[in-house]
Chain A
Amino acid sequence: MSSFHLNTALATWRRSLSTNRTFSADDLDELEQHLRDQIAALVQGGQSEKAAFEQAMAAMGEYGAVEREYEKVYWGKRRRQRLLSTELQERVSMLGSYLKVALRTLRKEKGYAFINVFGLAVGLTCFVLIGLFVHYEQSYDTFHEKADRTYRIVNEYPQAHSLGNTRSTDTPEPLADVLRETVPEVEQVVQLVKSHALLSVGDTQFYEDGIFTTGHLFDVFSFPLLQGDPRTALADPNAIVLTASLARKYFGDADPLGQTIMVYTLSSEDANDQQEMQVTGIVADVPANSHLSFNYLMPTAASRELAGWFDRWDSNSYFTYVALRPDYSLPAFEDKLARIAQDYLTQTEYYQSHPAAIGTYGTQLLTDIHLHSHLKNEFAANGDIQYVYLFAAIALLILGIACINYINLATARAATRAREVGVRKVMGAHRWQLIGQFMSEAVMPSLAALFLAMLLVPLLLPVFNTLTARAIPFDLAHNGGFLGVLLLVGLGTGVLAGSYPAFVMSAFQPAGIMKGTPSERSGKTWLRNGLVVAQFTLTMVLIIGTLVIQRQLHFVQNTQTGIDRDQIIVLDVEDRTLFDTRYETLKQTLINHPQVLAVTAAQEDPTNVDAASYATAWESAEAGQRILVNRSIIQHGFVDLFGLELVEGRDFSPDIPTDAREGMLINETLKHQLGWETAVGKWFNFHGREARITGVVKDFNFHSFHAPIEPLALFLDSGWWFPYQRVFVKVRPDAMTATLAFLEETMQSFSPSHPFTYHFLDDTYAQMYQTETRLGRLLNYFTFLALFIACLGLLGLAAFTTQQRTKEIGVRKVLGASVSQILLLLSRDVLWLILLALLMATPLAYLAMRYWLGDFAYHIELSPWIFLLTGISVLLIALATVSYQSLKAALADPVKSLRYE
């Protein structure tokens, strides 16, 4: 009896089970308590402890059966417990191992790691830059508090010889008061006119851009006044409000408020009449993403140019903006606008005699102006939603190309690790551990790429800003959503790249893999090839687009526009007294210089004639007929200097005095629209003169290539005040610096009170295609990057496939294959892929470019050469990329490749 100790017996029993993993301490506690209960009951029934213990043990079940029963529920138990903290802990501890192995793999394959990380980083950087641009373009004018209910009034009026109405920003002055007083929806109205004036304080004098407006500006827009009272700042006709930076420019650190500034507006009746203005307020600098821009504000009442044109419904000179009440209804407001046009215009004398000219007023949301507005006389050149879409598409294309690379390389590399998967599985790795391993190997470089991109973006943003001519800020605090998207893209790419090895390979049966590497050439290659084709299709679309845009730009800038633009210096004449008496002397002085070939003057650059008015009476005109004719007032020598060709009649001559009064040159288009067989000698009433046609010039492009050539009339000045604003000087191409110095000196001596400003005609001409030029340049860069990334991927892939076929190449060489045969073998695959990509890219690019070219009235034809050239060059680049690897493999000593393993 005494030899049996229950506790010892139980402890022994317990120890025998505790080595078995199926029994947790918790299970043993439970079982032991059961035994103790049972034994206690049996002892109470009169049995000895020893007998009770033996009976309880017997009730446990057959030897080994308990273990088996527990084993059955073991996995279920594990699974349940893992749901709790155990799983988390295991995962966290495994994460360290994943990262370590991932780092080792990356280090072992530095080349691939570099291609992966760098390619994706470049792609992401492009994506971010373009994303910022797209975001910025859409942010225009959104900083105004009432942006969602502020509208610009659009003047829509009919025009002869053109389809539909002309839509313009120009509206009449009395419209503001009518809107303010009779339309209940209107909260406030402001009108403004662009201004350009010489501002001087002491010796500091510059030409500045500003606007004439009223104090209502501050009620409609959120341009905060830093100093001064918005209610009274523009009340006095001698008041001027400066932007903070302009105030600093003129007054330094001194308090600008109350200071006087001399303003010389170009239209002053008396040339020496400067207006003395008093600074009444300082407005914050206008944000870069505003379609309105100004350096100063002056009251409309201060403008002498506008003075004669107040209160006239037939003079459209003002931009009109309305802030509507928060509960406005746009259709109701537009109805009222249309009624106002009807009611007031029909009461106007001019429209009573020209009822066909009566138009109507419409609206345009403030925030739509920058991207969606193409009205006549915009405040400044706007952006274009088409380009925003285009760039968004490019961003996605490049990101797509980079992601495809990443995925392709990662899956290709992972496939070589099938054996590793087998070994890991044999060693007891769970499937989810393998998934974790492959996932972390794929996600880690993608996060590294993301990080690299975030470093590159702030570095490249200034360059990008120069290219796009924008001032895009990089401000993470304001781009939080953007950062989220990026993180998602980075992670998404990693996960996508990792999912093939993670989910497909982790399911491999170890026995199958260990017997031999499953052939990589059969299974998944179609997917990878498909992705490569997609990649090169995208790249080729980009390349073709770039080529077409470049060629169109070249066409625009070098094709005969019918006008000679080279070596012509344009002097801006702001001093109107010059033409009163001194022009002929100036002309003689200039022409006497050996470098100067010819001199003339005109109202505007002949490459961009802006002024137009209606002609209503001419020989054999029908009643009520009218034609909108562009006009420029020119000086003698104009036709010669610009190399215009006369198809009929003669040029103006200083020897024929009647030319100044009634001479007129017209272009061929106008002649055709007038329906004349011959033009010379016929009378034509235009712009207040009864002209007799002197000659007809061959059509030349005096607008941008976007628009077809319109009617044009050229005539000499006959008392129209201040008609000339430009002196054109044709010079010899050499010794330009000396020539410019001479021109400056001469101009200074003729009008000493004005700064000398000039430009080259071909420069301003190029500026007309700035958007396209900029687009072209950006496209160049992005296309290059896209091609670069795609080739980077191809390089990696080629290296991979070549390596996979090392033995095959060895065997082929041993059997007598030549280097060129092997090169062909290895390049053939790529060849097919590129050809397929070209086949797919051609129609895509063709449609896209035909759409873009449709925007130009004069454009190049899409020749098959562009497509062929793209295909051949991409093919060559791709082959060159691949051949490095192929050559290496083909030249390798077969002994080495076959000895491998």
Chain B
Amino acid sequence: MISKALVAASLKPFILSILADGESYGYEIIQRVHDLTGGQVQWTTGTLYPLLHSLENKNLLESFWREADAGPRRKYYRLTAKGYKALATEKQQWLSIHEALLKLWGPSPTLSPA
């Protein structure tokens, strides 16, 4: 399992990146993260939704209810222009940390115990 702190930190880039692929709703987002990480990252429902709402408050996302032809009514989220900008910043930050760590760890993909 990945540490709680790291999970918490990755919430925002995950949400922004997933929504950059297209609009989606909460349950689907959790499922995608679960699938993408092979179950390594588990979000609680109670953290996802408030975060979605807070991102919406900051105008990174916008939400709308969609009535499906077959199936229940769901609240969808999508990125705003500001959201796309935030994603770019987020990406850059993660990549720079990622690159720095890679440089430290050398070309070998396997970690040797210090």
CA distance A72 to B56 in the complex (A): 13
| Structural contact, A34 and B54, CB atoms closer than 8 A | no
Contacts of A350 in B (CB 8 A): none
Digitize B52-80: 1 where CB-to-A-CB distance is under 8 Å, 0 elsewhere: 01101110000000000000111100000
Contacts of B54 in A (CB 8 A): 72-73, 76
| Structural contact, B27 and A34, CB atoms closer than 8 A | yes
B109 beta carbon closer than 8 Å to chain A: no
Contacts of A72 in B (CB 8 A): 50, 54
Q: Contacts A73-B57, A77-B53 given: A61-B45 contact, CB under 8 Å?
A: yes
CA distance A35 to B72 in the complex (A): 12
| Structural contact, A80 and B56, CB atoms closer than 8 A | yes
| Structural contact, B50 and A69, CB atoms closer than 8 A | yes
Residue of A nearest to B53 (CB): A73
B47 beta carbon closer than 8 Å to chain A: yes
Report the interface size for chain A: residues with CB under 8 A from the other chain: 26
B38 beta carbon closer than 8 Å to chain A: no
B107 beta carbon closer than 8 Å to chain A: no
A855 beta carbon closer than 8 Å to chain B: no
| Structural contact, A59 and B49, CB atoms closer than 8 A | no
Which residues in window 56-101 of A have CB below 8 A to B? 56, 59-62, 65-66, 69-70, 72-73, 76-77, 79-80
| Structural contact, B46 and A30, CB atoms closer than 8 A | no
Q: Quick one: which of B26, B56, B57 contacts A34, CB cutoff 8 A?
A: B26
Q: Shortest distance in angstroms between A103's beta carbon and chain B's nearest beta carbon?
A: 38
Chain B binding surface, main DSSP class: helix
Q: Quick one: which of A33, A38, A69, A79 contacts B46, CB cutoff 8 A?
A: A69
| Structural contact, A38 and B27, CB atoms closer than 8 A | yes
Beyond the given A56-B45, A62-B46, please list 12 additional residue pairs across the A-B interface where CB-CB is below 8 A: A30-B75, A34-B49, A65-B44, A66-B45, A66-B46, A69-B46, A69-B50, A69-B51, A73-B53, A73-B54, A76-B54, A77-B57
Q: Shortest distance in angstroms between A67's beta carbon and chain B's nearest beta carbon?
A: 8
Residue of A nearest to B44 (CB): A61
Chain B residues at the A interface, C-beta cutoff of 8 Å: 25-27, 42, 44-47, 49-51, 53-54, 56-58, 72-75
Q: Contacts A27-B49, A69-B50, A76-B54 given: A36-B44 contact, CB under 8 Å?
A: no
| Structural contact, A30 and B26, CB atoms closer than 8 A | yes
Contacts of B72 in A (CB 8 A): 33, 36
A29 beta carbon closer than 8 Å to chain B: yes
CA distance A69 to B52 in the complex (A): 11
Residue of B nearest to A69 (CB): B50
Which residues in window 308-359 of A have CB below 8 A to B? none
Digitize A18-43: 1 where CB-to-B-CB distance is under 8 Å, 0 elsewhere: 00000000110111011111100000
CA distance A73 to B50 in the complex (A): 6
Q: Shortest distance in angstroms between A495's beta carbon and chain B's nearest beta carbon?
A: 31
CA distance A28 to B54 in the complex (A): 16
Contacts of B26 in A (CB 8 A): 30, 34
Contacts of A34 in B (CB 8 A): 26-27, 45, 49
CA distance A65 to B45 in the complex (A): 10
CA distance A29 to B49 in the complex (A): 12
Residue of A nearest to B59 (CB): A80
CA distance A56 to B56 in the complex (A): 25
Residue of A nearest to B45 (CB): A60
Q: Shortest distance in angstroms between A56's beta carbon and chain B's nearest beta carbon?
A: 8
| Structural contact, A61 and B27, CB atoms closer than 8 A | no
Q: Shortest distance in angstroms between B74's beta carbon and chain A's nearest beta carbon?
A: 6
Q: Shortest distance in angstroms between A12's beta carbon and chain B's nearest beta carbon?
A: 17
Q: Contacts A34-B26, A77-B57, A79-B57 given: A60-B46 contact, CB under 8 Å?
A: yes
Contacts of B27 in A (CB 8 A): 33-34, 37-38
Contacts of B42 in A (CB 8 A): 59
Contacts of A35 in B (CB 8 A): 45
| Structural contact, B44 and A59, CB atoms closer than 8 A | yes
Q: Shortest distance in angstroms between A330's beta carbon and chain B's nearest beta carbon?
A: 57
Contacts of A66 in B (CB 8 A): 45-46, 50
Contacts of A27 in B (CB 8 A): 49, 53
Contacts of B58 in A (CB 8 A): 76
CA distance A62 to B57 in the complex (A): 24
| Structural contact, A76 and B57, CB atoms closer than 8 A | yes
